[in-house]
Amino acid sequence: MPIAVDSGVTDLVTIGLQANPGTSGGYYLVARPNSGITTIEQLRGKKVAYPPGSGRHMVTAALLKRHGLDLKTDVQPVELAGAEVVPTFAAGAVDAAIVLGNQYYQLGEPPILGDGKGVNTGIQSLIVHKDVLNDPAKAAAIGDYVGRAIAANNWKDTHADEWIDEYYVKQQGITHEQGRKLYEEDGIASYYPIDAESTALFQTVADGLFATGTTKTHVDVKPYVDDRYNDIVIAQNELDGVTPKPITS
């Protein structure tokens, strides 16, 4: 959402917010096998692939910055569509790339230089056009959808083995054991009520996007969140026996 607002699309509002505090968010900066690269500092002057204007862009820039490198000037940035990052890395055309957890195993477990821990909190949002909420029938239908989305998400967290088999094994082509490792490391992002605490967490994403140059403007997320469905979020989590992780600063 901050990226959309930065691009001038401002008629949006977040009505559902997922987060996974304290985890990598499933993002890994990996080095080309047998390249001799074992630290982020060694990426100076090297080719680093990422999808621009994305959470992976932000994580890549932030990890480099932590180690004294600027994505724009200290490495050779290679901007690719999300689907092109893995095949480009696998072909050996870049020295490092930011990949997702399932892609890490699909690539044969290349050396990990860093992950999204402390940079990305697994935040995802359900977004609608603001004017849609002015229609009572549509607003009610969206509320029904929010409840169903939360129930579907919570099912994954209460049926981990089934979800691992269906998603990681059957769809992503990795083993159950590999999927289990990813699940045990990060778990599932939960839906949170939209309140001051979760909005502040959401703001850290906008802050990170701006600080790393992913967005040109520093977006304030407060005008772009709507808490009208909080009762649905709370009730569905209670019904499913899911308690979201504490949001820590």
Of the pLDDT bands very low, low, confident and very high (cuts 50, 70, 90), residue 214 is confident
User: How much is the pTM?
Assistant: 0.83
In this prediction, residue 120 carries a pLDDT of 75
Buried b (16+ CB within 10 A) or exposed e, 109-129: ebbebbbbbebbbbbbbbebe
Of the pLDDT bands very low, low, confident and very high (cuts 50, 70, 90), residue 165 is very high
Of the pLDDT bands very low, low, confident and very high (cuts 50, 70, 90), residue 205 is confident
In this prediction, residue 21 carries a pLDDT of 87
CATH number of 27-115: 3.40.190.10
What DSSP element (H or E) covers 99?
strand 96-100
| End-to-end Cα, the chain, rounded Å | 21
208 contacts 62 by C-beta, under 8 angstroms? yes
Question: For residue range 103-158, what is the model confidence (pLDDT) as tens digits?
Answer: 999 999 999 999 988 887 778 899 999 999 999 999 999 999 999 999 999 999 89
- Coil, strand or helix at 98: strand
In this prediction, residue 187 carries a pLDDT of 83
In angstroms, the Cα distances linking 226 to 21, 115, 147, 159, 233 are 21, 31, 15, 30, 13
In this prediction, residue 208 carries a pLDDT of 85
Kindly report, as residue ranges, where domains of CATH 3.40.190.10 are found in the chain.
Answer: 27-115
Average pLDDT over residues 211-225: 91
Please give the Cα distance from 150 to 85 (Å, whole number). Answer: 30
Average pLDDT over residues 181-203: 92
Question: For residue range 32-85, what is the model confidence (pLDDT) as tens digits?
Answer: 999 999 999 999 999 999 998 788 898 999 999 999 999 999 999 999 998 999
In this prediction, residue 242 carries a pLDDT of 92
Mean pLDDT of the chain: 93
In this prediction, residue 212 carries a pLDDT of 80
Instruction: Say if residue 249's pLDDT is above 60.
Output: no
Average pLDDT over residues 12-30: 92
Partners of 27 in the beta sheet?
100
